[in-house]
Amino acid sequence: MAEIVSELKKRVDEVLANHPESKDFAIETMDKNGVIYLTGTVDTKAKKQLVEKLVKEQKGVTGVVNNLGIEFFEEEEDPLIDEDLSVEDDDHDGSVTPAHRAQ
């Protein structure tokens, strides 16, 4: 049996798909009588809160159940950056020198 997709769900999905802070995440929505259920993952707590705010702003939304998880995505290695960035300096004693001294 095919699921009937509400106009509210369509509108919420469109907002999330087009917002620059949420469009890159796989966020699933479900509408149950105006209450929007969110599942999927984002990469920060701030984005989780933003998604909830975006959904709450939609006319017809009576509540939000935010089940979004937070997953910290690792950045891909850049092949142009040398992996070994360690510096061997036998003369350095480990002290830190200020970059700018007040006059």
Note whether residue 81 is domain-resident: no
Note whether residue 48 is domain-resident: yes
CATH number of the domain bearing residue 46: 3.30.1340.30
Q: Count the domains in the chain.
A: 1
The pLDDT of residue 82? 53
pLDDT digits (tens, 9 = 90+) for 58-97: 999 999 999 999 998 666 665 665 555 545 555 555 544 4
- Name the residue range of residue 57's domain: 7-70
**What's the chain's average pLDDT?**
82
Closest CA to 36 of 3, 2, 18, 10: 10
**Rg of the chain over all Cα atoms, to the nearest angstrom:** 23
Note whether residue 41 is domain-resident: yes
Contact 44, 60 (CB under 8 A): no
Note whether residue 47 is domain-resident: yes
Residue type, 45: K
